[in-house]
Amino acid sequence: MDIFLAPFTTHVRLSDRLLARIVSFLFLAMYANAAWSFPQVMSFMLATIFTHQYKELSNSFDKLLAESNERRLSDSDIATLT
């Protein structure tokens, strides 16, 4: 744990390093927690965005099919979905 205190202990002489160890432990624990949760949160956000876009595309596809007389779409209609 003292390896994380090396930049501080070279500039500041401390006789008792307990407070510095506690502060560095809290900082490292917060950093590790953020580094662990960030990929999970990003995956959830991307899944939410893609789900929303898929639902919007599905709704517009259903709307175009309902407005179509033959219940089928031409190539130009499919190009307008996106």
Domain range summary for the chain, segments of one domain joined by +: 2-79
Considering the chain, what percentage of its residues have pLDDT values greater than 70?
90
Q: Which residue has the tokens 């953020």?
A: 34
Return the ∠ at Cα 10 (arms to 15 and 21), rounded to 5°. 55
Sign of the C-alpha dihedral computed for residues 56, 59, 61 and 63 taken in this order: negative
The CA-based dihedral angle spanning residues 68, 70, 73, 77, taken in that order and rounded to the nearest 10 degrees:
-40
4, pLDDT greater than 60: yes
**Reported pTM:** 0.58
pLDDT in tens, 11-37: 777 777 788 888 888 998 999 999 999
